[in-house]
Amino acid sequence: MGVIAEKIHDIGRLRIKIRSYRPIAFSVVPAILLCLFVKFQPWVSPWVMMADPIVYLKGEVYTGAISSLGAIMWMCAASIALFAGVVLVRMQNSTEYGKFLLHLGILTVALSFDDFFLIHDVIAPYLGIDEKIIYALYALFSVFIFLRFPREILTTDNFLLLLGFFLFGASIFLDVLPFSGPTVGFLEDACKFVGIVAWSTYLVRASWMTLSQNKPILKYGKES
C-alpha cells in the first residue's frame, strides 16, 4: 500500500511543462489547421475525408488488411530510419551512414504515401500524369542512392534491402503487364508486401545496429 500511496502522491505533483513551443507549432497547430480546412472546404463532405474508408463504404472489416499493414510497416520503418539518420548526421564519425538512412527514409515515406493514397494508381492518372513517370522517379532516386552510398550498402547486411528492391521491381513489372486477372493481381500485391517486410526489416536493423555502435559499421554483416 505504501508504494501505491507514493505513486498517487507523485501523480498529484504532476505539472504541465512546456519547454519549447516548436513541437506544438509543427505538429498540433498544422493538425488543427488541416481539420479546419477539411471542415470548411467546399468540394466534398467533411465526413467523406474524415471517416474510415471501411466504415464509410460499409465494407468488410478485412478489406485491404494486407495493404494497410504494409503501409503501416513502411511508415514505422521510415520514421525509425529518419530519426536514426538525423542522430547520426550530428555525429562527426557517422555522417555518411546518417545521410544514407535519411535518403532511404525519404524514399520509404514517398513509397508509403503512394501506396496508402493510391498516388500512381488513381491520383496521378486523374491529374493527367502517366504512372510510368512516377515509377521512373522512384527508380532514378533508387539508382542515386546506390551510386551515392555504395560503401554504406556494401558494409551493411544488405540482402534484405536487395530483396526488397527485387520484389518491388517484380511488383511493378506485374502491374504494367498488358493483361491482368486475379492471379496476376495477387502476385503483384504479394511481391509488394513481402518486399515491404524485407525493406522495413533492413531499415530497422540498420538503424538499430548503427546507433548502438555509435560509429560507422564496417563489420556489420558479422553482427547477429
Is the four-CA dihedral 139, 165, 104, 111 of positive or negative sign?
Answer: positive
Which cell numbers in the block locate residue 88?
547520426
The model scores a pTM over 0.75 = yes
- Is there a contact between 54 and 61 (Cβ–Cβ < 8 Å)? yes
- Is there a contact between 164 and 202 (Cβ–Cβ < 8 Å)? yes
Count Cβ atoms below 10 Å from residue 114 Cβ, excluding itself: 20
Residue 207 CA to chain centroid, in angstroms?
14
The one-digit pLDDT tens for each residue of the chain (224 residues) are 566 766 666 666 666 777 778 888 888 999 999 999 999 999 999 888 888 888 888 888 888 889 889 989 999 999 999 999 998 888 766 788 899 999 999 999 999 999 888 888 888 888 888 888 998 999 999 999 999 999 989 988 899 999 999 998 899 888 878 777 888 889 999 999 999 999 999 999 999 988 887 554 434 444 44
Cβ within 8 Å of residue 70, ≥6 positions away:
115, 192, 193, 196, 197
- Is there a contact between 156 and 206 (Cβ–Cβ < 8 Å)? yes
Instruction: Give the total residue count for the chain.
Output: 224
What is the pLDDT at residue 8? 62
Q: Which of 68, 38, 33 is nearest to 50 (CA)?
A: 38
Q: Helix, strand, or coil here: 22?
A: helix
d(CA 158, CA 164): 10
Is the four-CA dihedral 145, 146, 151, 152 of positive or negative sign?
Answer: positive
71: which DSSP letter?
H
- Is there a contact between 164 and 109 (Cβ–Cβ < 8 Å)? no
What is the pLDDT at residue 72? 92
- Is there a contact between 35 and 72 (Cβ–Cβ < 8 Å)? no
